[in-house]
Every structure is written in structure tokens, then in C-alpha cells.
């Protein structure tokens, strides 16, 4: 069976879901259910991990879903590390989706601070899943630092534009030694399928589900998109032919 | 994850069977792929791909021109010592062979180097056997320090070292390592290396990773063709290079495909590789590794080298001598093997130019060293 392994943990689903922007907790849960996801990210700044009555946490079945706290809002490495440590101290598993986004407009990740924070958190025993721009060298530096995945963005978060960073993501996928999760910008199941067809190991979706008229149904649609893309990747897509016309034979000497 | 773990995850008999099972449709898919997967690479090494040798060559040529232009980096080997405590059955330096043994002094080394320098070479490959008493790492370091002002790049092809050893030679001015696993088949490796430190398969396999960790800029791998079955050896070589590309990503990779030559001792190839197979192997490696340097030495004939030139080759030696002292003293009695292309460097240079290729003598600078 085709499974996804991150830091020695195995998952059947290759779709991760974010929990921001939903109109209600019921809509959020419907999206999670429909998507078949096993990993959900939660912004640490939005939840009260100490409080058993927290409105988001009470709706997430921790038996069913791995809660992946994210450091959304952190502007530098220090803030991200502090958030992650607080979450762990409050009893979360030592998994963290590392987001360092000092630019409040496009919420683009800061590569320098992200690498710094990753180095600290890995040494600290965290399973680190860093959100990055689609920069292949940064991806290598992070995996060298010991991150469990890399999570390059397809397009700026919340834009629903699809895999606009396609060429760079292709290089990351080609070279990575950890799972590649395309995160941010995927606005339609076809976008998710495209990322999976390219050989991404998983995708993370939030806005597209949260803003859908029917988040539960959109969750299902993304599930199918991810599965279709993955299956097509494994089945071996027919490739576009590049037919070069031979100018003069290069191997004629073998027949002389 | 080190390469040994990757290699151990494959059973070589299964690899051979999987390669043999590839069909023309698999080859066509591999030829159309932007990046080769493991199964694509197997397809290109398969008997089914023999019928596709021309399209493979065209693709290899196209990729190479795209990535490297029509240039050939010129290098020359300099044999420092042929003393050796190993028993490699195929090698002229085998400890049991009765050949004149010699380790160059620093002055003799410089005399050799000056010949090569005067010929225009700025990329030098220092070669030794494995003789800890005659030519140890301190000896090598001293030679490098002496030659460094004459060359822009110095590579070594010597016994495998720990990371600390590589650090020492890098500090002295070495920027490249060539180390052939000879065969990736453990059982055959044990048979071919009956005694000596080289018996340690795993240590040799680990050497490129040790070197990369020490900061080596260029690393070359390869299998000695004629020992194991070439499809499997080529597959493992490609796997090795891919592993290094992923895990030691700061290192520039080169791949060589040395075919066994007549040598003192009279060892005959166990699995001879035909010219056709050889071309298939070179093209398959190029398609797998579009950015790797592919090295062709004077082991091959002049005619074949000229024909292989457009298929993906990026580095060539010329006018080489495989015995210590052979350049300055013109005595080849202690040679490792008999070269085939015996043209001078000027003849090879003229051949390259006549075919529209630029010989490149310097493509590095000692200023990169601290």
C-alpha cells in the first residue's frame, strides 16, 4: 500500500488540512472529514493548548488526527522557537510546522530566520516541517539541518493561484531526500492533482476549503484530486515527446 | 542515510533481472523523460535499449552540449608511486607482480609535473598505489604542497581515507578525488582483492562521503569495466552518483568508465564490455546525470575516443603515462597498464579543434583554497 512516512510515522492520506478562516468549527470538521486527512495544522496563536475547553481543540479528535501546531505569526526565529517550545510544554507532540513570516502582506516566509529556527528546533528534538518559498538550495540547507520535510509554497498563501512555482518545485522534488509537501496557494483540486502528478509527497490546503460554499464537499474533492494525482504519478504519466531530428548519426562507427 | 544502506537495499541478482525484463516501451518512455527514474535508468541499460543506441546518443549529445557547450577539460595523471601492498588481481601494481617499484622523491615529482605544466596542463591527477610506508598521507600532502603553485586544480586517485585524511590533503591544496569502487558486487570484490587493506569493501564505498564531508569540491566514481556484469555495475555506479548528488549536494560529480586494459599479471576480463555496450552505458549515464562530468582516459583507442567525444564526454587526458617518472625519464617499465590512445597532447588538441570542440586547460583556480 502506498503510504507517506514522515519522521518514522506512516500516513495513508497525502492531504494535510489547515484550520484557519473557517466560518464555523462545524465547517472545519466537515472539511477535515471530507478530505480524509490525518494531519491538521493549528496556529498556536489561535489556540489555548492549556485550556481543555478551547473551541478549536475540542473539535479535533486527537485520536484520529495528528495535531501539527504551526508558528504562524512569528516574525523571527526566536519567536518561532518560543511558540514551539510552549506548545510542547503544554503537552503537544514535538511536531511543528515552522512558519516565519515577517511580511504581513503576502505572508512570505523568511528563509534566513526559518533556517535558524529549524536548526535550533531540530537540536531541541522537534520534528520540524518548515514552510518555505520554492527555493531548492534552501530546501537542501533545511534537510541538511535535519528537518522532516520541506514545504515549498505553490503561490502566496491564500491566493488560490495554483502551482505557480512549478519549475522550482520540480527541482526540489528531484533533489529532495525528505518528503516534499506543497503548501499554500492550491485553490482547486486540479492544483493539488498537478502537484501530486509532479511527484510531490503531499499537499497542504486550507483557504480553498475554508472559503468554499460547502467545505465538506470541497474536502472530498481535494481528496480525490490528491489521490488522482498520486495514482497518475505512480502509474507513470505519458510524457510529452521531444523529438529531436538527428542531424548526422553519432553511432554509425559501431556498425563499420 | 549513507550509500551503503542504499546499495544494500538492492539485491544485485534482482537488479539484473529487472534490467533484463525491460521492453522497448520502457526504453521509449525513458528517452522521453525529463528526469530519469530508477526504472528509466534500468531501461536504458537493458538489452532492449541496444536497438535505441542512436536516439540515446542524440539525446546524450544534446544534453551535454546544453549543459557544457562543446568543451573538453584536459587533465593529466601523474603517478607518484607504484608501490602497493594490495593484491588486486587485475592490476599491474599487484604486490605479487615483479615490476620495478618506485616512489618519486619531491624533486622527481616536480620534474614530472613540470613536463605536464609545460605541455599546458593545469588540471593534475596524482596517482599512487596503497603503500602506507612508501607513500602515506604526509607524503601525499608534501607532494601537493610542492606542486600547488604549478596547477590550478589537483585531484588525487589514491587509497581511501577517513574524513580527517581528506581534510589534511584538502588543506594542502587538493580539490578533487577520484575513487573507483572497481565492482559493486561484494562477493566478486572479495574475490578480486584477496589481500591488503583494499579488501575492505565498505570503507572504500564510504570514501566519497568522507571526502565530501571534508569539503572535497569534485568527486569521481566508477566501476572497473570487465570485472562484474556491466549492466549491473553501471546501474550501481549511477545509483552511487545519484546518492552523492542528493546527499553531498555541494560536490561536483564526475563519472568514469574505465575498461580493463592489458596489464602486468595477465588478468583477463571476466565480463568483457563491447564497444556497443560501452556506448550504451555512457549514454545511459549521461541521460541519468545531465550535469555530471564524464571522463574518458587514454585507456581507449584514438579512434574510439574520437567517436565517443560527442556522446557526453567532458574530460579527457592526453599523452598519459602510467608509471612513476615516466614523463621526465621516458621509462615506462613500472606502468600500471598499457594505454591505447598514444597521441600527444597536441595531437589530441588538434583533433578536438577539428571537430569543433574547445580544449579547456584551466577551469578552476587555486584561489578557491584558503
* pLDDT beyond 80 at A49: no
Q: What is the CA B48 to chain-centroid distance, rounded?
A: 27
DSSP string across B78-109: EE-B-------TT-TT-TTS-----B--HHHH
Q: What is the CA B5 to chain-centroid distance, rounded?
A: 23
What CATH number does the domain containing B344 carry?
3.20.20.70
* pLDDT beyond 60 at A244: no
- In sequence order, which residues have a C-beta less than 8 Å from that of residue B91 and are 6 or more positions away? B84, B263, B265, B267, B336, B337
Integer Cα distance of B80 and B15 in angstroms: 38
Integer Cα distance of B267 and A223 in angstroms: 61
- Report the gap between the CA of A144 and the closest CA in chain B (Å): 8
Q: Is the pTM of this model over 0.90?
A: no
* pLDDT beyond 70 at A2: yes
Q: A235 CB near a chain B CB, below 8 Å?
A: no
Residue-wise pLDDT tens digits, B171-205: 999 999 999 999 999 999 999 999 999 999 999 99
The shortest CB-CB distance from B57 to any of A175, A176, A251 is to A251
Mean pLDDT within A24-42: 92
Which A residues 101-140 touch B at CB under 8 Å?
140
Q: Are A253 and B247 a contacting pair at CB < 8 A?
A: no
Q: B281 with B45: CB under 8 angstroms?
A: yes
- Give the count of beta carbons closer than 10 Å to the beta carbon of residue A9: 14
Q: Which residues of chain B are within 8 Å of residue A242 when distances are taken between CB atoms? A: 32
Residue-wise pLDDT tens digits, B112-158: 999 999 999 999 999 999 998 889 999 999 999 999 999 999 999 99
Q: Are A251 and B55 a contacting pair at CB < 8 A?
A: no
Of A235, A52, A39, nearest to A129 by C-alpha is: A39
Whole-number pLDDT of residue A62? 83
Terminal CA-to-CA distance of chain A, rounded, Å?
51
Of B56, B112, B78, B126, nearest to B284 by C-alpha is: B56
Residue-wise pLDDT tens digits, B3-23: 999 999 999 999 999 999 999
In a domain, B78, yes or no: yes
Residue tagged 496556529 (cell numbers): A43
The residue from A21, A64, A97, A140 that is catalytic is: A97
Average per-residue pLDDT in chain A?
90
Burial class for B255, CB neighbours closer than 10 Å (0-12, 13-18, 19+): buried
Binned at pLDDT 50, 70 and 90, residue A25 comes out as: confident
Of A50-59, A109-118, A163-172, B214-223, the least confident: A50-59
- Report the gap between the CA of B54 and the closest CA in chain A (Å): 6
Tell me B357's DSSP state.
P
For chain A, the farthest-separated pair of C-alpha atoms sits apart, in whole angstroms, at 83
In a domain, A147, yes or no: yes
Q: Are B311 and A242 a contacting pair at CB < 8 A?
A: no
Give catalytic status of residue A123 as yes or no.
no
The percentage of residues in chain A with a pLDDT greater than 90, rounded to a whole number, is 66
Mean pLDDT within A53-76: 85
What CATH number does the domain containing A53 carry?
3.20.20.70
* pLDDT beyond 90 at A45: no
Residue-wise pLDDT tens digits, A180-195: 999 999 999 999 999 9
The shortest CB-CB distance from B53 to any of A176, A244, A254 is to A254
Query: How far, CA to CA in Å, does B111 sit from each of B29, B100, B241?
Result: 53, 20, 35
In a domain, A129, yes or no: yes
Q: B38 CB near a chain A CB, below 8 Å?
A: no
Nearest chain A residue (CA) to B39: A236
In a domain, A114, yes or no: yes
Q: Which is more confident, A84 or B261?
A: A84
Integer Cα distance of A109 and A152 in angstroms: 10
Whole-number pLDDT of residue A148? 97
- Report the gap between the CA of B161 and the closest CA in chain A (Å): 23
- Report the gap between the CA of A251 and the closest CA in chain B (Å): 6
Binned at pLDDT 50, 70 and 90, residue A242 comes out as: low
Residue-wise pLDDT tens digits, B267-322: 889 999 999 999 999 999 999 999 999 999 898 999 999 999 999 999 999 999 88
Residue-wise pLDDT tens digits, A103-152: 878 889 999 999 999 999 999 999 999 999 999 999 999 999 999 999 99
In a domain, A253, yes or no: no
Q: For strands B293-296 and B176-178, give the pairing.
A: unpaired
Whole-number pLDDT of residue B362? 83
Q: What angle do the packed helices B275-288 and B53-68 form, to 10 degrees?
A: 50
Which B residues 173-202 touch A at CB under 8 Å?
none
Q: Which residues of chain A are within 8 Å of residue B279 when distances are taken between CB atoms? A: 251, 254
Q: Which residues of chain B are within 8 Å of residue A253 when distances are taken between CB atoms? A: 303-304, 307
- Report the gap between the CA of B148 and the closest CA in chain A (Å): 32
Q: Which residues constitute the domain of residue B62?
A: 3-363
Q: Which residues of chain B are within 8 Å of residue A236 when distances are taken between CB atoms? A: 29
* Domains identified in chain B, total number: 1
Q: Which residues constitute the domain of residue A36?
A: 4-238
Q: Where are the alpha helices (DSSP H) in A124-214?
A: 136-145, 166-175, 189-197, 207-210
Residue tagged 505553490 (cell numbers): A154
Which A residues 176-195 touch B at CB under 8 Å?
176-177
The shortest CB-CB distance from B29 to any of A239, A242, A254 is to A239
In a domain, B368, yes or no: no
What is the SS3 assignment for A8?
coil
Residue-wise pLDDT tens digits, B27-43: 999 998 888 999 999 99
Query: Cell triple for residue A26?
Result: 462545524
Mean pLDDT within A45-68: 79
* pLDDT beyond 80 at A11: yes
In a domain, B225, yes or no: yes
Integer Cα distance of B188 and B182 in angstroms: 10
- Count Cβ–Cβ pairs < 8 Å, chain A vs chain B: 42
Binned at pLDDT 50, 70 and 90, residue A73 comes out as: confident
Binned at pLDDT 50, 70 and 90, residue B160 comes out as: very high
Binned at pLDDT 50, 70 and 90, residue B328 comes out as: confident
* pLDDT beyond 90 at B104: yes
* pLDDT beyond 80 at A248: no
Whole-number pLDDT of residue B9? 96
* Domains identified in chain A, total number: 1
Binned at pLDDT 50, 70 and 90, residue B235 comes out as: very high
In a domain, B369, yes or no: no
Amino acid at each position: 500500500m502506498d503510504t507517506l512516512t514522515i519522521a518514522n510515522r506512516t500516513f495513508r492520506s497525502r492531504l494535510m488540512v489547515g484550520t484557519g478562516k473557517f466560518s464555523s468549527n462545524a465547517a472545519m470538521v466537515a472539511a477535515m472529514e471530507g478530505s480524509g486527512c490525518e494531519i491538521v495544522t493549528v496556529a498556536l496563536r489561535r489556540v489555548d493548548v492549556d485550556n481543555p475547553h478551547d473551541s478549536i481543540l475540542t473539535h479535533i479528535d486527537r485520536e484520529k488526527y495528528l495535531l501539527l501546531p504551526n508558528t504562524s505569526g512569528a516574525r523571527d526565529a526566536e519567536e518561532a522557537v518560543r511558540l514551539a517550545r510552549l506548545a510542547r510544554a503544554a503537552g503537544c507532540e514535538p511536531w511543528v510546522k515552522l512558519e516565519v513570516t515577517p511580511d504581513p502582506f503576502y505572508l512570505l516566509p523568511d528563509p534566513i530566520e526559518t533556517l535558524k529556527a529549524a536548526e535550533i528546533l531540530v537540536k531541541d528534538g522537534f520534528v520540524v516541517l518548515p514552510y518555505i518559498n520554492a527555493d531548492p538550495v534552501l530546501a537542501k540547507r533545511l534537510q541538511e539541518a535535519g528537518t522532516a520535510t520541506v514545504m515549498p509554497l505553490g503561490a502566496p498563501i491564500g491566493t488560490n493561484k495554483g502551482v505557480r512555482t512549478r519549475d522550482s518545485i520540480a527541482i526540489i522534488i528531484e533533489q529532495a531526500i525528505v518528503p516534499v509537501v506543497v503548501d499554500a496557494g492550491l485553490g482547486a483540486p486540479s492544483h493539488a492533482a498537478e502537484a501530486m502528478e509532479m511527484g510531490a509527497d503531499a499537499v497542504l490546503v486550507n483557504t480553498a476549503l475554508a472559503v468554499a460554499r460547502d467545505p465538506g464537499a470541497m474536502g472530498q474533492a481535494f481528496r480525490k484530486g490528491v489521490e488522482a494525482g498520486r495514482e497518475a504519478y505512480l502509474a507513470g504519466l505519458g510524457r510529452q515527446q521531444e523529438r529531436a531530428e538527428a542531424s548526422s548519426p553519432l553511432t554509425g562507427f559501431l556498425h563499420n | 542515510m549513507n550509500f551503503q544502506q542504499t546499495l544494500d537495499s538492492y539485491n544485485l541478482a534482482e537488479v539484473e533481472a529487472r534490467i533484463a525484463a525491460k521492453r522497448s516501451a520502457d526504453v521509449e518512455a525513458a528517452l522521453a523523460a525529463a528526469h530519469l527514474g530508477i526504472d528509466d535508468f534500468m531501461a536504458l541499460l537493458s538489452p532492449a535499449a541496444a536497438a535505441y543506441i542512436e536516439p540515446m546518443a542524440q539525446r546524450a549529445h544534446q544534453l551535454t552540449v546544453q549543459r557544457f557547450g562543446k568543451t573538453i577539460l584536459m587533465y593529466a595523471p601523474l603517478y607518484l608511486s607504484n608501490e602497493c601492498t594490495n593484491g588486486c588481481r587485475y592490476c599491474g601494481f599487484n604486490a605479487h607482480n615483479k615490476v620495478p617499484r618506485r616512489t618519486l622523491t619531491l624533486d622527481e615529482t616536480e620534474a614530472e609535473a613540470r613536463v605536464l605544466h609545460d605541455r599546458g596542463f593545469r588540471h593534475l591527477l596524482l596517482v599512487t598505489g596503497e603503500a602506507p610506508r612508501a607513500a602515506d598521507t604526509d607524503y601525499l600532502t608534501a607532494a601537493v604542497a610542492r606542486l600547488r603553485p604549478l596547477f590550478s586544480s589537483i585531484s588525487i586517485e589514491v587509497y581511501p581515507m577517513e574524513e580527517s585524511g581528506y581534510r589534511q590533503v584538502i588543506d594542502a591544496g587538493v580539490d578533487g578525488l577520484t575513487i573507483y569502487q572497481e565492482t559493486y558486487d561484494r562477493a566478486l570484490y572479495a574475490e578480486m582483492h584477496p589481500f591488503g587493506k583494499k579488501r575492505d569493501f565498505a570503507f572504500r564505498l564510504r570514501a566519497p562521503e568522507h571526502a565530501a564531508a571534508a569539503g572535497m569540491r569534485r568527486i569521481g566514481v566508477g566501476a572497473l569495466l570487465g570485472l562484474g556484469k556491466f549492466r549491473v555495475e553501471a546501474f550501481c555506479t549511477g545509483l552511487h552518483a545519484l546518492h552523492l548528488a542528493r546527499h553531498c549536494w555541494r560536490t561536483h560529480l564526475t563519472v568514469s568508465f574505465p575498461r580493463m586494459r592489458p596489464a602486468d599479471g595477465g588478468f583477463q576480463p571476466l565480463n568483457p564490455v563491447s564497444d556497443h555496450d560501452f556506448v550504451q552505458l555512457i549514454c545511459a549515464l549521461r541521460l541519468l546525470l545531465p550535469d555530471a562530468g564524464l571522463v574518458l582516459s587514454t585507456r581507449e583507442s584514438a579512434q574510439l575516443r574520437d567517436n565517443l567525444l560527442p556522446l557526453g564526454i567532458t574530460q579527457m587526458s592526453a599523452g598519459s603515462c602510467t608509471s612513476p617518472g615516466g614523463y621526465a625519464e621516458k621509462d615506462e617499465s613500472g606502468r600500471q597498464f598499457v594505454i591505447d590512445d598514444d597521441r600527444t597532447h597536441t595531437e589530441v588538441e588538434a583533433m578536438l579543434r577539428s571537430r569543433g570542440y574547445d580544449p579547456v586547460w584551466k577551469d578552476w583556480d587555486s584561489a578557491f583554497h584558503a
